[in-house]
Structure 1
Amino acid sequence: MDHTDAPGLVLSPTARVGDGVVFGANVVVHDDVIIGDGVRIQDGAVLGKPPTLSPRSSLRSADGPGPLVIGAGAAICTHAVVFAGSQLGPGVIVGDLAVVREQATVGADTVVGRGATVDPRSTVGARVRLQAHVYLTAFSTVEDDVFVGPGAVTTNDDTMARLPEGRALQGATLRRACRVGGGAVLTPGVEVGEEAFVAAGAVVTADVPARAVVMGVPARVVRRVPDAELLERGPWT
C-alpha cells in the first residue's frame, strides 16, 4: 500500500503494514513494527520506539524487546508512544499522549486513556478502561473488564529505590471486573479482588477481598458490592 500521501511519515522499511491503515501527519514507525488491518494512527504518534534504560535498570534484557504488534482495528491517537516489544489486541484505543512501554500486553477492545501510562511487563486484559492519566506500574496484572478511574496510581517498590539485591518488584493485581476510583493509590503487590470497588482517593495498603467496597486512608472495607452492580447484571455503558 502506498502511504506517501501521509505528510512527514517516517516508515521503517522493515515495518509490516496491513490493509486499510490510515496514517496522520508526522507519524514515526520504527523497525519491525507489525500493524494490523484497518489501524488508525493519528498525528505525531511514535510506534516501536526502542527503550532507553539506566544501566542499573531491572528491566534491561540482553535479548532486546522484540517487535511491536498492533491488532486489527486499533487506534493510536495523537502523540501517543507505543514501545517496541508491546502487543496491542484488536480494537485497542491508545489515547492522546498515552504511553505503552516495552513488553506490555493490552487485550482486545481496551482503552488506554489520554496521558495514561502502561509500564513494561504489565498485562492488561480485554475490555479494560484505563481513564486519563492512570499510571500502571511495571509488573502489574489487570484482568478483563476492569475500570480504573482518572489519575489512579499503582506502585511496585515500597523501598523507593532501596530494593535489596535479588528481591523482585511487585506491581498490583486487579482481578476481573473490579473498579478503582479516580486518584486512588495502590501500594506494591496488593491485589484487588474480582468485582471489588475501591473508592476515589483511597490508599490501598492490603489486599481487597472480592466484591468488597473499600474507602479511606488507609482503605478499609465498608460494605459489599450489591448484586445489582455486578458485571453480569448489565448491559452497562
Structure 2
Amino acid sequence: MSNIKIHSLADVQTDLIGEGTTIWQFSVVLKQAKIGANCNINALTLIENDVVIGDNVTVKSGVQIWDGLRIENNVFIGPNVTFTNDFTPRSKQRPSEFLKTTVRNYASIGANATIVGGISIGEYALIGAGSVVTRDIPAHALVYGNPAKHCGWVCECGSKLEDFSCSSCNLEYEIINNTIIKKDT
C-alpha cells in the first residue's frame, strides 16, 4: 500500500515517486521525473523530465525545476527560487543539451534566489534570499547578494559559524586544502 499523496488538482505524469512524498495542488510533474521518498512538493510547482530529486527534499511554492537539475537528499528550496538551464535561450530553439546543475545534500536555497545553470551548490551551503548565484558554491558556504558573494560559513545545523565554531550545537570546523571539515572531537 502506497503512502504517496497527490492532490486531486495536481497533474503528475510520473510513477517514479518515493514513499511518503506529498505533491500539492496545481503542481505539474512530467513523465520521466524522479522524486525520492518523504519529499514535500508544494503548490504551483513544475518539474520537467530530466530531473532527479532525492529523499527528504522540500520544494516550496512557485518553483520550476527544469531539465538538467539534480537535487540530492535533504535539500530545502524556498518559495519562488528560479533555476535556469540555458545560457543562450531563444524562442522556439531548443539546445542540444541543457546545462547540468547539482544541489548537494542538505543545502538550503532562500526565497527568490536565482540559480544560474551549470553550477554546483555544495553540501550544507546556505543561499540567502534574493541572491543571484552565478558560480559554484563550496560546502558549508553562506552566500548572499547580487551576485552572490561568500559571506561566511554555516554549520550542519544551519547556524552561522563564528571562528569556525557553532554556538548553537557546539560543533567545530577547520579548513584543510580549501575545504571546510568538521573537527574530530
TM-score (norm 1): 0.63
Larger Rg, first or second structure (1 or 2): 1
Q: 1:143 to 1:165 in 2, by over 3 A?
A: closer
Q: Is contact 1:154-1:171 (8 Å) kept?
A: no
Match of 1:87, SS state, is: coil
Unaligned runs of 5+ in 1: 1-36, 38-71
The answer to whether the 8 Å contact 1:156/1:170 transfers is yes
CA RMSD of aligned residues (A): 2.1
Q: 1:88 matched to which residue of 2?
A: 17
Match of 2:108 among 166, 179, 187: 179
Tell me by how many angstroms 1:204 deviates.
0.6
Give the letter aligned to residue 9 of structure 2: H
Residue 116 of structure 1, CA deviation? 1.1
Alignment partners' CA distance in 1, 2:146 and 2:97: 26
Q: Output the amino acid matched with 2:134.
A: T
CA offset digits 1:2-42 (Å, max 9, x no partner): xxxxxxxxxxxxxxxxxxxxxxxxxxxxxxxxxxx2xxxxx
Quick one: percent identity of the two aligned structures? 28
**CA 1:161–1:101 in structure 2 vs 1: closer, same or farther (change >3 Å)?**
same
User: Displacement of 1:227 after TM fit?
Assistant: 5.1
Residue equivalent to 2:123: 194
Question: 1 or 2 for the larger relative contact order (CA 8 Å, sep ≥6)?
Answer: 2
Runs of 4 or more, structure 1, over 4 Å off, are: 164-167
In 1, Cα distance between equivalents of 2:156 and 2:88: 39
Aligned to 1:75: 5
Q: Residue 190 of structure 1: CA displacement?
A: 1.3
Residue 206 of structure 1 aligns with which residue?
Answer: 135
1:86, CA displacement in angstroms?
Answer: 4.4
Aligned residues: 160
> Per-residue deviation at 1:166?
7.5
Question: What is the CA deviation profile of residues 162-217 of structure 1, one whole-angstrom value per residue up to 9, with x for unaligned ones?
Answer: 8x997521142100000000101111111110000000011111011100001011
Return the alpha-carbon distance in structure 2 between the equivalents of residues 138 and 228 of structure 1. 30
Q: 1:169 aligns with which of 98, 113, 116?
A: 98
Whether 1:141 and 2:70 are equivalent positions in the alignment is: yes
Equivalent AA in structure 2 for residue 169 of structure 1: F
2:178 is aligned to none
Amino acid of the structure 1 residue aligned with 2:5: A
CA distance in structure 2 between the partners assigned to 1:98 and 1:139 by the alignment = 19
Structure 2 unaligned blocks of 5 or more:
160-168, 170-185
Q: Is the contact between residue 124 and residue 155 of structure 2 (CA under 8 Å) also seen in structure 1?
A: no
Q: CA deviation at 1:228?
A: 4.4
